[in-house]
Structure formats: C-alpha cells, structure tokens
Chain A
Amino acid sequence: MVERDSPLGPLRRPGRHGHSRGAPGVRLAEVTPAAICEAAAWPGAEAALAEAIGATTGLGLDATPGAGARSAEAAAFGIGPGRFLVTGRHDGLVAALAAAVPADTGTVTDLSHGRTVMRIAGPRAEWVLGKLFAIDFAAHAFAVGAGRATAHHDIAAQIQRSAGDAFDVCVFRSFARAFWAGLCAAAEEVGYEVL
C-alpha cells in the first residue's frame, strides 16, 4: 500500500494548547483509517446493501436514516438515502466489500486517499463541535455509532459518534488542513491536547 502523508502538515502540533488551566477540554487527533469507501444502493436495494456491509465487516447495520455501528476493526454509518460510509483498519476492506455487493444491489467507491478523519474526544467535545455544525450533538439526539451528514460552511462533513464523549469527523482530504485549523481555534477556549 502507498504510504499516505498527513494533509495536516505543520498545523498538527502535538501537545497542549489554548486554555491551560485544568485538564484539556478536548483531545484532537487524526485517525484516518486505512480503508474508506462509500457504498450506495440502487432504489429498493437499501436493505440488501446494509446486509452485505454487515456480512463483510461484521457490523450490525440497518437501513434506517443515520444508523451506524462500530467495532475495533471497522465502522459504518448512513450518510444519505441508501448510502453508507464504511471504514476499516485494513486496506483489503474496500475490495472485500466490492466483491460482496452485486452490481444489481449497488456500488462501492474507494475514497481511502480522498478523505481525512479527525477525532474530537473529551468532556467538551459536544460543545466544541456545536460551535462548528448546526446539528444536535447531545447524547439523547446522537447515539454512539450513529452518523450525520452535515457541513461547516462549504466543507462537507460526515460525523460518527465513536464513543460517549468522542466524535469522528470525516472531511475531504483537500479541506482537512483548513478544517483542522478551524477546529483548533474552536477548541482554544476549553483547552485542547493534540495527540
């Protein structure tokens, strides 16, 4: 596999930044997985696609809006009608999923080199993301594993709640550095640590 450079470049500065009193409000990290793809179903084949993703990744997935699931190896969530973002730790996932989705069910598009995933974790993660996106990040409205497709101005973002206090935000790789800069600025008031 071709080694990927981080698109964040010199803007990724590990260590403690911003408000310095007490524990950091959030921890920021780039967590781009080896495999990223979008699976899309033809109309009427949504459930069959969700089943194929489940069979390939071992995730329990259904076709309800925004549904998602995670494991140590893979993650998947709905980003639109009949469309799922599927990620995995091993780069064989895309080929395995493409083989598991017949042509009359849908399509699988490899985005591994086109997306960057950032993790925002910590007690103030909901607060910091709430400043960037006009959606509800509260636990009762956004369950662990569930996904949302939204946008920060013109930067489209696909967000999955990866744990009770952690979110994975997937953006176009070419926007990753700009988004990271905005994320760091938004996190300054609560103090942040770059891992």
Chain B
Amino acid sequence: MLIPCPYCGPRDLAEYTYQGDATRARPDPATAGQAAWNAYVYERANPAGPHREHWQHAGGCRAHLVVTRDTVSHAVLAVAPARAGEPS
C-alpha cells in the first residue's frame, strides 16, 4: 500500500504510523456527560468502505495526515495535512 504524502509524494506504508480514527469529535467538556465521554474514548465504528484516519509519516517528513482510505480495497482516496493551514 502506498500513501501519497502531500510533502514527500508516494511512499511505502512501512514509513507511516497509524494514529486512529479521524472521525471522532471531542465532546464539549462544559456540557458532555459520562455517556458522551465513554463514547468518545471507547466506541469506534468499523465501516466497510471509505474511512477517515490519522496517519503520521514517521519515517519521512514526520507530518500528521488525514487519510481517507477504503477499508475494503485499501485504496487511498484522499490525503491532507492534519493541521489546517499547513503547506502541502
């Protein structure tokens, strides 16, 4: 599997570190209850199809990326820097 890094170009999967689900939204600490925090920390969807994930190009430019990947075919559909405003 190749992931096209916005900085380095296409690189082998071995250079990347998986950093988890990128679809989670952090609850508002002022209003969120126990159930909302439990869901945020522990509950994950396991979709068959396109999924947004955090990856770090640890063996290259070290940038954190948001990768949209099809979990069935492993096709990488989109890659963007995780930090808004970071140059690609």
A residues neighboring B (CB under 8 Å): 43-44, 46, 63, 65-66, 79-83, 134-135, 148-151, 156
Contacts and interface: CB of A to CB of B under 8 A. Distances in A.
Contact of B83 (A43, A80, A150): A43
B60 A150 contact: yes
B14 A134 contact: yes
A45 to B, nearest CB: 11
Interface residues of B, number: 20
Contacts of B81: 81
Contacts of B59: 150-151, 156
Contact of B11 (A79, A80, A150): A150
Nearest to A79: B61
Interface string B61-78: 111000000000000000
Contacts of A44: 85
B8 A66 contact: yes
B55 to A, nearest CB: 15
22 contacts: A43-B83, A46-B87, A65-B8, A65-B9, A80-B62, A81-B63, A81-B81, A81-B87, A81-B88, A82-B86, A82-B87, A134-B14, A134-B15, A135-B11, A148-B60, A149-B60, A150-B15, A150-B59, A150-B60, A151-B14, A151-B15, A156-B59
